[in-house]
Structure 1
C-alpha cells in the first residue's frame, strides 16, 4: 500500500463534525489541535519536464484556494478530466509555506467536494496562535438558537435588502458565563453606521429580557464563530 492510501484523519473529521454541530471554544481548540498535527493529500500534476504543478481551486467569486484532502477516499473525488492528478502528502505547515510563497492564495479548503471547510488566511494565522488567544476560564458556546426567531430574521432581511454595504449575516445563540443571548454576525465594511441603525430598527422586536449582541464578521471572533454555519442572509 502506498503512503497516500494510508492517510486517514478520523479524529480531525470528528472535530469538524462537532464544531459544525455546536460551536464551543473547547471544540474549536480540539479542531485546531488536530489540524496542526494531521497529514493531508495535496493534488499535483507532474508535467513532461518533471516539474510539479499544484492544483488550485476557485470559489464562486474567483478567489484561489489550496485543496486539502484528509484521506484517499476524498481525494478520489477530484476530477481533472484526464486522470493526471496525483496526491502529495503534506503537513499543515507545508501548506503554510505554500501560502506564504503565493500571496494570491486566499487559504485552503478541507475536502472541497464533501465537507468543504474553508480556512482563510486569518483562520490559519489564528490556528498558529491558538490557544494563546483564549482567556482562561472564559467559556463560550455557540450554536443555532433553540427557538428560532423567524420574525426577527425576516425584519433583518428587510433591513439588509436596503443596505448595499451588507454582504451577509449569521444568527446564532451564544452562551457566555451561563447567560444566553442571540448573536448577530454581519459582513459589512460600514459597521459604524449600520450597527446603531440596525440596533434601533430591531430593538422593539426582541422578547422581554432577550439580549442581542451584534458583531462584525470581519473580526477574529466573528470569523471563528461562524465557521461551518450558513448565513441567513446573503447579498
Structure 2
C-alpha cells in the first residue's frame, strides 16, 4: 500500500453523485470538465514478458466496457480485482487512446461496483472532440488577466515555495461562452494533492465573483495554452 500513487477524486465523485441524483446538461458538462484533470485507475493483468491484458466488463447484451476507478477504495471493492489485477494510473486522454485502438470497446464504466456510471463511446467521442475544439481555440479564448490579481499571485508564490513538488505556474484568463475565469496551470506531479490544498487556500485571496480553474501543465491542454506565455512562478534550482 505504501508504494501506491495517491489517487483521490472527491470533486469528481461529488459531481457523479449529483448527476445521478438529478440529471441536467449543466451537471453533465461539469462532470466532463472534471474528468479532464482527473487521475483514474485502470485494472490490468501483467503477463509474462511484461505484456499487459486489459480487464473488461461485459453487460447482459454482450457489450464490453473498460472499468475506471476514481480511487483505491473503489478499486478494491471487487475481490477478483484484488486477486488478479494491478492498477495503472490513467487519465481520460489515455482512455481515448484505448477506445480509438479497439473498436469493440463500447465505452468505460466508472466505479462499476459502486457508482456504476457508464460513459458510452459516443460520450467519450464528444469529450475528445470538445477538448480538440478547446485546443484549436474554437470554444475558448485564452490570454493574460485584464485585471491582474496581485494579492492572489503573491500568496500563490508563498504557497508554492512551501511545496517542492511545484516547479512552475502560469496564470491566464479564459473566456468561454462569455464567462470569464482565471486559469492556474501548475507544473507538478501531485496535481490532485496540490489542487485540494490550494483550492481552499486561494479562495480568501479572490473576489467573490471570481472563478478559478486549476489545470496540470502535464496535459495536452495545459501544454498547448501556456506555450506563448511565461510562468509567473518558477522554482529556483
TM-score range, shorter chain: 0.5 to 0.7
Partner of 1:128 in structure 2?
128
Partner of 2:9 in structure 1?
9
CA contact (8 A) 1:45 1:53 kept: yes
Deviation of the 1:43 alpha carbon? 0.5
Partner of 1:53 in structure 2?
53
Note if 1:18 corresponds to 2:33: no
Deviation of the 1:50 alpha carbon? 2.1
Q: How does 1:104-143 map to 2 (within 5 A)?
A: 104-130=104-130
| Distance in 1 separating the partners of 2:81 and 2:74 | 17
The structure having more radius of gyration, on CA atoms, is 1
Q: Deviations over 1:124-178 (max 9, x none)?
A: 11223449799959xxxxxxxxxxxxxxxxxxxxxxxxxxxxxxxxxxxxxxxxx
Q: Unaligned regions of 5+ residues in structure 1, if any?
A: 138-235
2:80 match: secondary structure = coil
CA contact (8 A) 1:19 1:27 kept: yes
Bigger relative CO (Cα 8 Å, ≥ 6 apart): 1
Q: How does 1:64-143 map to 2 (within 5 A)?
A: 64-80=64-80, 83-130=83-130
| Distance in 2 separating the partners of 1:94 and 1:28 | 21
Deviation of the 1:20 alpha carbon? 1.5
The alignment of Structure 1 onto Structure 2 pairs a total of residues equal to 136
Deviation of the 1:49 alpha carbon? 2.6
Deviation of the 1:87 alpha carbon? 0.7
Change (3 A) 1:95 1:81: closer
Q: Deviations over 1:13-48 (max 9, x none)?
A: 101111122222322221001111101001011112
| Distance in 1 separating the partners of 2:81 and 2:8 | 25
Deviation of the 1:68 alpha carbon? 0.3
Q: Unaligned regions of 5+ residues in structure 2, if any?
A: 140-175, 179-237
Alignment RMSD: 2.5
Q: Deviations over 1:173-203 (max 9, x none)?
A: xxxxxxxxxxxxxxxxxxxxxxxxxxxxxxx
Deviation of the 1:100 alpha carbon? 0.4
CA contact (8 A) 1:32 1:130 kept: no
Change (3 A) 1:81 1:34: closer
CA contact (8 A) 1:8 1:70 kept: yes
CA contact (8 A) 2:55 2:66 kept: yes
2:49 match: secondary structure = coil
CA contact (8 A) 2:75 2:81 kept: no
